[in-house]
Amino acid sequence: MCGRFAFYSPSEAAAALFGADATVEVQPRYNIAPTQFGAAIRNDQNEQRELVMLRWGLVPFWAKDPSIGNRMINARAETVAEKPAYRAAYRHRRCVVLADGFYEWHKDGDVKTPYFISLASGGPFALAGLWENWTDKESGDMLQTTTLITTEANEFMTPLHHRMPVILESDTAGEWLAGSTGLLDDVAAITPQLQAWPVDRRVNNARNEGEELISAAGDVLR
């Protein structure tokens, strides 16, 4: 799964990398957690890419209560096209969520050690996602939310966890946004080279924030 990530690169440069203008202000974040907002790129009504802020935890348009989003932070690549909660968004409302890295917890006995995983190049990347627009029928308030697509871990990630997010670079992000149906068939083939290192357990608390959270607390894995 993917339950925490970071995005701290300058948003203008990162958005441009994926073909969008930085039309909203994005603050550097080192510990983005479910129910919080992250920067995402999607196609607008004119099929032009736009940068938006989406709350993490998908709330389907048909949901009666937005609290359902609390348990819909990830969608499995293997079933996303068929699951009732995701299939409409899979067909019509795709996005990519901007990131510089994500966290995963390696379990060794009773001890869980957080690791920060990033591109070996150190640059920003995108996480394949879906988005939805939910409207409160009583107040008329709108809420735009997202979920991240996950897949089986590749050879690098397997020692840390059995699942991982679908990681995209600029070319594959374009394919995802264009509606590719084959991109998820062989995710390992499109996953860029990664690196990882253990970090302080302060990241376990979603209230903690700051650059020190991604500081290496051990050897870098490549």
Residue positions annotated with a catalytic role = 2, 104
d(Cα 218, Cα 13) in Å, to the nearest integer?
Answer: 30
Kindly write down the DSSP assignment for every residue of the chain, as one continuous string. Answer: ----EEE-S-HHHHHHHTT-B--S----EEEE-TTSEEEEEEE-TTS-EEEEEEEES---TT-S-GGGGGG-SEEETTTTTT-TTTHHHHHH-EEEEEESEEEEEEEETTEEEEEEEEETT---EEEEEEEEEEE-TTT--EEEEEEEEEEE--TTTTTT-SEEE-EE-HHHHHHHHTT-SSGGGGHHHHPPPEEEEE--GGGGSTT--SGGGGS-SSPPB-
d(Cα 170, Cα 49) in Å, to the nearest integer?
Answer: 12
Contact 74, 147 (CB under 8 A): yes
